Chains A and B, each alone.
Chain A
Amino acid sequence: FSTFGKNLKWEKNSLTYRIVNYTPDMSAPEVDDSVEKALQVWAKVTPLRFTRIDNGTADIMISFVPQEHGDSYPFDGPGVFLAHAFPPGPGTGGDVHFDEDESFTFSSNTGYILFLVAAHEFGHSLGLSHSYDPGALMYPWYSYNNPDTFVLPRDDVNGIQSLYGPNPDTDGDIDKPEPPTTPDACDSTLVLDAVATLRGEMLFFKDSFFWRSYPQSNTPQQTLITNFWPEAPTHIDAAYESQQSDRVLLFKGRRVWAFSGYDLVRGYPKSISSFGLPKRVKKINAALYDVESAKTLFFVGSSYYSYDEAKKTMDQGFPKRVDQTFSGLTGEVTAAFQYRSYTYIYSGPYMFEYSLSTGRLFRLLNNNYFLRC
Chain B
Amino acid sequence: APSLTAEQINMGVDWLSKFGYLPPPDPVTGQLQTKEALTKAIKAMQRFGGVEESGELDEATLVLMKTPRCSLPDVNESETARRKR
Say whether A and B bind each other. no
